[in-house]
A and B are shown apart, each in its own frame.
Chain A
């Protein structure tokens, strides 16, 4: 399969602004976009992108492929048109080519305290959690921090104080965990920062998530939790 790749290149400091570079490749039908990038880099070792696990669990290779935020390692070439346009995740500063600086996302994730808050003494063995209680974490704990959702969120682009869907999904995970004892603190944190109520329900995050998670639903769940007055 002959495919044309149009890739955005940019090296801040050297290049005045981003530019497009074209490569034509003969691709195997089994290839994913990451295979093509690796093949391109054999000819042009200066092309920069992130990758690690190659099968959709490490979250390194999120990029914008033909207008959609996708993991390069999971996006099959055969399912794409003959011209494939690749640019870095929007909404983050570019370090070089397809590698962006996700510091803001990471800081927001850290802000929501992505860990259990516990006050009670721990038992000798495991704490008990029923399968139903555990089920409430499904659809939340699987996030791979790839940044696809946050990068697709216009509110995140426009509002520099906005937490963004990744951080809010993480926040929701700990609201839902029956083992967590930090409800009061978590509510205070969410109130103190723009996030929950600034989301305009655009739902780009839902379309963007490569793991089929639904950050918007998590945001709505959080809103309900915030409005509910119990034990706080």
Chain B
């Protein structure tokens, strides 16, 4: 085993990970980033439409309006202290991003250009839509990630690329480090650190049709669960309304923000029935369910499970300037020019609202409630602060990564001087190495890809946009079967050099556990809120369910617990759009 020692190690090189690394490096501390892929391949790169900040560059806007929209968008499940902090920091962070070089699109007078997005309105939801999404054409993720990566090179951040973190090493006194697998060499490495940041992204690859990269398998959350720590609000999975049919590739909400219409088979702008005021600019959960309902009612295009996103009425210039990537994807994959033909779209799994419970300083919490676990941090999609509650607003995720990535970086830089390296507990190490060895020496009796696909298919079917008790119960049974099958997965005789099979086996272990956490949370939550919709309990139930789910894995048992939502300013009200 090859040993490494850094004061601070960050797992994950998306926007959150790199934003954190940059802060730590600017503070002059010793920092390394460990990433499953080369940094610019991280899934942050795929974000399209924009990143949220109430700059007011286009019309009047205030962070308080952004705050209200985020609270209402979250269906009142977000923690308002964190949400208020986030919306204020977003403004400073947008300027920071410009300062480090993000190639934002510009207004005529040279300021950051902003566009409309779902769920962003003026005057505490009472007024007109407001342009709050700061854009770089339709490539905001690419623009942010490549800029951050360049800055990390500038500040000499050390990178361990194509290293898959496998196990956290916890100690009674906190986090001591973690184990990682170097893909190119096929060897185990151990990283000892005073502080570890998990910035490992989401788990939307648990579903069959997904906007997400093949790498978004929730590894960081899986490691946390395995280490005996809880996860929060896992049942809240966002389905993006407009994935390119049939693949599910992201077609930005910015397309609707620029004036795109959703049409059913009758050519009707059906959203006006579901959200009479906001129409296509209602939040994602509302639009996704509306599409699902249209399809169920037989109004999908030619009876198929998709609808049309129409931008044929938009000016050519606008499509080329502001939506170039969308145009390119339509041409390359669907073979259609969106100026001439409507785009086929259907909901696709997109974002994990749930994740690792952290406080506002990005510190991971022992029991998910109050007490921080020294030396372990989380930020970005893998964390649950909770900004997004039951449903995330478009453009809030890239900004969350930037705001909380930076915050985590600053916190870690501050604390490492006061902290020593913890010893690596030998017994734990031995245990983990045994597990790896077993996987490597077991003969293969089950096909990894097949189990993965069965998992994804069944999760979409039984735990997707619409859920009910029997489907969820059935899914638990399926997961039980898949876990038995997984025990028969082995890699004996495989070469370990760049072994995708090894990577997929590790990912699959976590995916199965995360799936169970999602299903158990969803089954227990007998209400509908945000992205979690129970057809057998279609109403929101604040009396019983205005609370966060916590789920622990103890041995093979999953245990649920709950904690209250932080409400500071906005009392829950009916959510109408």
Using a CB–CB cutoff of 8 Å, the interface residues on chain A facing chain B are 11-14, 30, 32, 38, 41-42, 45-60, 74, 76, 95-97, 99, 101-102, 106, 110, 113-116, 118, 122, 124-131, 133-134, 137, 141-145, 177, 179
B1-59, CB < 8 A from A: 37-38, 40-43, 45-46
User: Which of chain B's residues have a CB closer than 8 A to the CB of A30?
Assistant: 246
Q: Does B129 contact A (CB under 8 A)?
A: no
Q: Check A45/B500 contact, CB under 8 A, given A122-B99, A130-B106.
A: yes
Contact of B485 with A by CB under 8 A: no
Residues of the B chain whose Cβ atoms lie less than 8 Å from the Cβ of A106: 38
Shortest distance in angstroms between A214's beta carbon and chain B's nearest beta carbon? 15
Task: Please determine whether A52 and B449 come into contact, CB atoms closer than 8 angstroms.
Answer: no
B41 & A45 in contact (Cβ 8 Å cutoff): no
Task: A101-B184, A125-B95 are known; give 17 further A-B pairs, CB within 8 A.
Answer: A11-B497, A41-B500, A45-B500, A47-B500, A55-B247, A56-B328, A57-B139, A60-B37, A95-B498, A102-B38, A126-B94, A126-B104, A126-B111, A126-B112, A128-B109, A130-B108, A141-B143
Given A55-B329, A58-B213, A142–B41 Cβ distance below 8 Å?
no
Indicate whether B450 reaches chain A with its CB closer than 8 angstroms. yes
A101–B498 CA distance with the chains assembled, in angstroms: 11
Q: Which 9 pairs from chain A and chain B are nearest by CB?
A: A128-B110, A115-B150, A116-B101, A126-B98, A114-B150, A58-B41, A55-B249, A52-B213, A96-B498
**B333 near A: Cβ within 8 Å?**
yes
> Could you list which residues of chain B lie within 8 angstroms of chain A, going by C-beta atoms?
37-38, 40-43, 45-46, 94-95, 98-101, 103-112, 136, 139, 141-143, 146-147, 149-151, 153-154, 184, 213-215, 246-247, 249-250, 325, 328-329, 332-333, 444, 447-450, 494-495, 497-501
Report the bound CA distance from A3 to B450 in whole Å.
Answer: 22
Pick from A42, A45, A59: contact of B40, CB under 8 Å = A59
Query: Chain A residues near B332 (CB, 8 Å)?
Result: 56, 74, 76
Residue of A nearest to B448 (CB): A45
Contacting pair B153 A142 (CB below 8 A): no
The CA of A130 and the CA of B112, in the complex, are separated in Å by: 10
Known: A59-B40, A141-B146. A126 touches B495 (CB 8 A): no
Which residue from A56, A59, A129 sits with its C-beta under 8 Å from B110? A129
Q: In the bound complex, how far is the Cα of B109 from the Cα of A133, in angstroms?
A: 11
The residue that A52 contacts in the complex, of B37, B98, B154, B247, with Cβ under 8 A, is B37
Shortest A195–chain B CB gap in Å is 18
Contact of A110 among B153, B215, B250, B325 (CB under 8 A): B153
Known A42-B450, A141-B143; judge A53-B213 contact (CB<8 A).
Answer: yes
Determine if A128 and B111 form an interchain contact, defined as CB atoms under 8 angstroms apart. Answer: yes
- Residues of A contacting B103 with CB < 8 Å? 134, 137, 141, 177
Q: What is the CB-to-nearest-CB distance from B145 to chain A, in angstroms, rounded to a whole number?
A: 10
Q: A46-B494, A95-B497, A128-B109 are in contact. Are A56 and B41 (CB under 8 A)?
A: no
Smallest distance from the beta carbon of B163 to chain A beta carbons, Å?
Answer: 14
CB distance from B444 to the nearest CB of A (A): 8
Bound complex: CA A127 to CA B450 (Å): 52
* A53 and B46 in contact, given A115-B147, A115-B154, A127-B99 (Cβ under 8 angstroms): yes
Q: Are A124 and B153 in contact (CB under 8 A)?
A: no
Q: CA A127 – CA B447 in complex, angstroms?
A: 54
User: B150 — which chain A residues lie within 8 A by C-beta?
Assistant: 114-115
In angstroms, how far is the closest chain A Cβ from the Cβ of B48? 9
Residues of A within 8 Å of B95, CB to CB, are 124-126
A30-B246, A179-B101 given as contacts; is B110 within 8 A of A60 (CB)? no
Residues of A contacting B41 with CB < 8 Å? 50, 52-53, 58-60
Q: Is the CB of A57 within 8 A of B154?
A: no
Which chain B residues border A102 with CB–CB below 8 Å? Answer: 38
A226 shortest CB reach to chain B, Å: 21
Could you tell me if B154 and A54 are in contact, using CB atoms closer than 8 angstroms?
no
Which of B42, B100, B333 has the most chain A CB within a 10 Å cutoff? B333
Q: Please give me the residue from chain A that is nearest to B161 by CB atom.
A: A106
The minimal Cβ–Cβ distance linking A113 to chain B, given in whole angstroms, is 7
CA distance A96 to B108 in the complex (A): 50
Contact status A144-B153, CB under 8 Å: no
Could you say which of B43, B249, B250, B498 has the most chain A C-beta atoms within 10 Å of its C-beta? Answer: B498
B447 contacts which chain A residues (CB < 8 A)? 42, 45
Whole-angstrom CA separation of A141 from B98 in the bound complex: 14
Report A-chain residues with C-beta under 8 Å of the C-beta of B249: 54-55
Taking the closest CB of chain A, its distance from the CB of B378, in whole angstroms, is: 22
> In chain A, what residue has the closest Cβ to B148?
A115
A48 and B46 in contact (CB under 8 A), knowing A134-B103, A142-B139? no
Contact B46 A57 (CB under 8 A): yes
| CB closest residue in chain B, given A41 | B449
Among A13, A56, A124, A133, point to the contact of B497 (Cβ < 8 A).
A13
Chain A min CB distance to B243 (Å): 10
Q: Which residue on chain B has the smallest CB distance to residue A138? A: B137
Question: Is the beta-carbon distance between A55 and B333 smaller than 8 angstroms?
Answer: yes
Task: A129 to B447: give the CA distance in the assembly, Å.
Answer: 54
Q: How far is the CB of B248 from chain A (nearest CB, A)?
A: 9
Q: How far is the CB of A62 from chain B (nearest CB, A)?
A: 11
Task: Give every chain A residue within 8 A of B250 (Cβ-Cβ).
Answer: 55
